[in-house]
Amino acid sequence: MAALGNDQQTVLVRVTGRDHPGITAGLLEVLAAADADVHDIEQIVIRDRITLGMAVEVPRGHDLLKAVLLWGWQEDLDVDFDVVSSTATPRPMGHVVTLLGPKLDPRELADATRAIADAGANIDRIFRLSSYPVMSYELLVREGDEDKLRANLLGAASSQSGLDVAIQREGLGRRAKRLVVLDVDSTLIQDEVIDLLAAEAGCLEEVHAITRAAMEGALDFETALHQRVRLLAGLETAAVDRAWAKLRYTPGARTFTRTLRRLGYVVAIVSGGFTVFTDRLRDDLGIHIAHANVLEEVDGVLTGNLVGEVLDRERKAALLVEIAAEAGIPLEQTVAVGDGANDLDMLNTAGLGIAFNAKPVVAAAADTALSVPYLDAILFVLGIRREDVEAADAS
């Protein structure tokens, strides 16, 4: 503990103890009585224990040490002092690292924080974003080599099956996202729409065979799509209704879309599936914009043909650009979420591309990859706390 002399100097006052109302106000009142200037304040409360730090400039001749110690004794708080530089150390722009997982045990957290240290970076601040449906923490990280930081953290995530890592540059761009564009199949919903329809048409095996051929590179996306749609010829709209009734939302989908709307985001879905489903999803979830392929229907029966332009990988990315332009939102303020290869262009075009339970090639190419099964976990990557979501739901 450094005692204060008669010269003007800057002192870091640190207060710890059980939290209760009036601590910050009480310390500031003591400082005001001493004509001290406050240069910096930081405070955090964990499990009803407060840690409060203030950098203050003390005028010569005032016994601030005695006054603050007396106040601390009266409030049942521990107080100590350090004489510090009068000039705040410049803080370079850093990165926001989000750690997510079902549990996040000490080993997973140790691997992630060691990865940060080994990149020459320093953790400036840590706070918890959520404990449900996943654990998540946000770390503000400064300095270090950016490429090494990313490589180290991604390596830590790959070595721990329960750890997901998102890395974003700190700044206004990270906090100013305004548009989220979602894929549908295996992202917003757990199913593949073509499979639900094929099951009703009795051609599920044939559809799966075409899908496998496309995934193996024997067919391009558009050819495979047309071949599968032709198998649906003769399917009545009542069967579409039955298929819709079997659809399963991804856990957290309603919370995710509801919270984004409350925050003023534009929410869109862009799907290689069909409007007979995406229009219903739009209406059911309150989504603003929905784009998908159009199945031709005559007299309540599907013809096995598509109407208009096929919505493929390139068109998905183009639609993201068009939606952003129409809403007056810069691309750096957009988020795209998807799981398949036909989402890659969209993920790379957006300001933040999130691979959600994606194929390895997609996860490797996206800005961020999440393997947790909850869609609302994306809110934590955006810096939204679970407590804020629950408070909004309760209001």
Cα within 13 Å of Cα(272), Cβ side: 28
The pLDDT of 223-248, averaged and rounded, is 96
| Whether residue 84 has pLDDT greater than 50 | yes
Quote the pLDDT of residue 63: 80
Catalytic residues: 183, 185
Q: How far apart, in Å, are the Cα atoms of 246 and each of 189, 207, 307?
A: 11, 18, 25
* pLDDT per position as a tens digit, 315-350: 999 999 999 999 999 999 999 999 999 999 999 999
CB–CB of 130/79 below 8 Å?
A: no
Give residue limits of the domains in the chain: 9-84, 95-170, 180-192+248-394
Consecutive H or E run containing 336 = strand 334-338
Looking at domain 180-192+248-394, its CATH superfamily turns out to be HAD superfamily/HAD-like (3.40.50.1000)
Angle between helices 64-74 and 23-33 (to 10 degrees): 150
The pLDDT of 303-320, averaged and rounded, is 96
The pLDDT of 106-128, averaged and rounded, is 94
Which amino acid is residue 56, in one-letter code? Answer: V
pLDDT averaged over the chain? 92
CB–CB of 368/390 below 8 Å?
A: no
CA-CA distance, 280 to 275, in Å (whole number)? 8
Q: Give the percent of the chain with pLDDT over 70.
A: 96
Closest CA to 205 of 220, 214, 195, 215: 195
The larger pLDDT score, comparing residue 8 to residue 378, is at 378
The pLDDT of 73-91, averaged and rounded, is 84
| Whether residue 62 has pLDDT greater than 70 | no
* pLDDT per position as a tens digit, 237-276: 999 999 999 999 999 999 999 999 999 999 999 999 999 9
* pLDDT per position as a tens digit, 166-197: 999 888 777 789 999 999 999 999 999 999 99
CA-CA distance, 11 to 2, in Å (whole number)? 9
The pLDDT of 26-36, averaged and rounded, is 90
Looking at domain 9-84, its CATH superfamily turns out to be ACT domain (3.30.70.260)
Q: How far apart, in Å, are the Cα atoms of 86 and each of 11, 39, 59, 134?
A: 8, 9, 13, 42
Closest CA to 97 of 81, 64, 68, 119: 119
Quick check: bond before 133 cis, omega within 30? Answer: yes
The mean-pLDDT minimum among 237-241, 297-301, 357-361 falls in 357-361
Consecutive H or E run containing 194 = helix 193-201
CA-CA distance, 186 to 159, in Å (whole number)? 25
Q: How far apart, in Å, are the Cα atoms of 382 and each of 129, 169, 173, 394?
A: 10, 12, 11, 21
Reduced 3-state DSSP string for 3-41: CCCCCCEEEEEEEEEECCCCHHHHHHHHHHHCCCEEEEE
Q: What's the sign of the alpha-carbon dihedral 313, 319, 325, 327? A: negative
Q: How does DSSP classify residue 75?
A: T
Class of CATH domain 95-170: alpha beta
pTM score over 0.75:
yes
* 9-84 and 180-192+248-394: identical CATH topology: no
